[in-house]
Structure 1
Amino acid sequence: MSLLDAIADKTARVGVVGLGYVGLPLAVTAAQRGFSVTGFDIDQSKMDRLDAHDSYIGAVASDDLRTLSDSGRLDWTTDFARLATCQAILICVPTPLTKQREPDLSFVTVTTREIARHIRPGTLVVLESTTYPGTTDEVLAPILAESGLTLGEDIFLGFSPEREDPGNARYNTSTIPKIVAGSGEMAGQLIESLYAGIVDQVVRVSTTQTAEAVKITENIFRAVNIALVNELKLVYDRMGIDVWEVIDGAATKPFGFMPFYPGPGLGGHCIPIDPFYLTWKAREYEVPTRFIELAGEINTAMPNHVIDRLREIVDRDAGKGLSRARILLVGIAYKKNVADMRESPAMKLLELLDEAGAEIAYIDPHVPEIPPMREYRQFTARPALDPAELKPGQFDAVLIATDHDAVDYAALLDLECPVIDTRNAIARRGLPMERVVKV
């Protein structure tokens, strides 16, 4: 049976490497659609929770893990030798930045080398990790060629960018349209057929470079527009104009305007990182990316702006500097109603407050304890404060960094101290604004 036939009738085993916010929902969705799936990860703690059918990803129900595991359609392992049993291997590993803000493809290259060690003839390999245009053909293809197998004959290579949006109740893995592209015609047919069996809509583009550029463009679009409203926030604040009211007013226009909202910085794995992947790659072609870089500068500076304003307010209202101030940080995740901590701007705020010598507590209904992260290791295992313990006079200021719906915002106002609101959370709930400062 050919690989195309095996994919079409779903007898091909699918391997998903990296069982995080992208990989685990993808593995579960593929299994629900009838494929036999093996998930791979190096993190034994994930294996332990999966073995207990305990989901650590909000988009995946623990009951689904149990059902799919009991049916034999989904299993998981740290043994990468089992890649040899898979006819389609999907790579869903992180692509962070180095400290020099250059692409760090180490997770991708290490994974691809493991695949090259175990891959069998007649296998499709797909990269889902967000990266710069050219990565699939320039980085993965040479490593896979080290297996001794021939690309386009024995091994087929493609790219399909993940488009997960944690906490989005409207769209999930199966309903988000999937961009796909293959390195060569047969690879294109294989990847299109594979994802057509997993998701509702597949959109095939001409080359892997195009597919890579699609994803990076989506996130640059968001980063640039968020930078624009962050800059407008600074301008309008100086003028005494509420930028949130301005945006809501502009959004009533039924054409020609799309609302974006300011905040304390950018979070999530994609938007704070992807623009720098393209600016780095553009240097190879001697093309300046001034617009993208300026947007990055504005967004990166927002946490410092928030802390500067907080310092002014604490000095004015409490008559003390941050080194003697008690601050309650509200929300530590990068976006509302999720536990996702990737690149959370709240962590940068926490670091700046800590460096200033402030006494800091945080509340977050989704993050009871700060998990281990590649950065901010000094805060690992710091627990959230129980909201029931909040008392008037306990803090010199409250700083809202993430506007989770499950937070009791009226109770924050009862603490009798200034509330610095970076998300317009208080006004949107129609609560009194006497002690609130929008930043």
Structure 2
Amino acid sequence: MLAGKRILLIIGGGIAAYKCPELIRLLRGRGAAVTPVLTRAGAEFVTPLTLSSVANEVAHSDLFDLTHEAEIGHIQLSRAADLVVVAPATADLMAKMAQGLANDLASTLLLATDKSVLIAPAMNVRMWEHPATQRNRAQLAGDGVRFVGPNVGDMACGEFGPGRMAEPAEIVAAIEAELSGGSLSGKHVLVTSGPTHEPIDPVRYIANRSSGAQGTALAAALRDLGARVSFITGPADVPPPSGVTVTRVQTAREMAEAVAQALPADAAVFAAAVADWRVANANGQKMKKDGKGTLPTLEFAENPDILATVSQMAEGRPPLVVGFAAETETVVEHATAKRARKGCDWIVANDVSPASGVMGGAENAVTIIDDAGAESWPRMGKDEVARRLAARIAAALGEG
């Protein structure tokens, strides 16, 4: 996939820069050419000689290099690449990118490029969570910059949390996904996401802890591969991605209706955590305590089974139907049984027990179950899970 591609790799000043020689080695092993660019701070962690040796190209660092700037070298570097990758992307580099500053070679290249930009943030957890960094992140995402990571884990400073740079293999997978853009061009993919809220009365409801992060990331990844995405979301914690058709719903019945309206599709991915039951005797007014300790009686009714309904359609069934199975025990066994019961093509199974930290967290560990069996993926960021799953969907649709 990367044969003949040129990657402009900008290396910021963080301890994670030590991973960049391995990243270059992996990229070259897949046929890509890599041009390294070091910031002044980046050179404190990895030397130009090391990068030049691994990349077999000159590692650039000086904006005012007379040899290269005689021919406006920073413009040539920024335009010659197929993709610009920033790893590690420090808080300082992200701030420069968001504000359009250009006072060194790296920031000048980022402002001058007309190519897509993929960044792998890396910084202390407090720096990542700071409102200024999150504002910059939102600005960059709105500008079309792609992200891989950051991952959650131990920091060099001894703290723990989000801020670790994605591993080299994850970054390579993100690069491959970015450069395979268009593999879903002309395809329509339906994605459901988030929880549903089933009312008890006008102010109370039954729900689950789904944040909608995985479904949202998947919709964005499918969009990035060129698909036309119909995104049907319950009341999620995360905003929907740009560039997709968004339908917002509250209840399972509303989601079922929205799915029916969005069909036909080439693929349907049901990532939403739909409530299995609703309150049949929901009250039209807020329920009050009577002061006597009498407890209200809630009667439940089964919600429509959206995944089974679409999987078992006699006419108009999408060629590929993917379900999700959120389990707390014997994950693969329960998910395998669910796939057979529902009739879908794939099930994406994950462990959502409290100890896993998956529901509401930034990472996921999934197992894909299909006719060939169960394929377990290592724990990784939800964005990375989405990119890999989107690439798998594209490959399946491409095969017919």
* TM-score of the two chains, using structure 1 as the length reference: 0.27
Q: Pick the structure with more strand per residue.
A: 2
Question: Which structure has more RCO (C-alpha within 8 Å, separation ≥ 6)?
Answer: 2
* TM-score of the two chains, using structure 2 as the length reference: 0.29
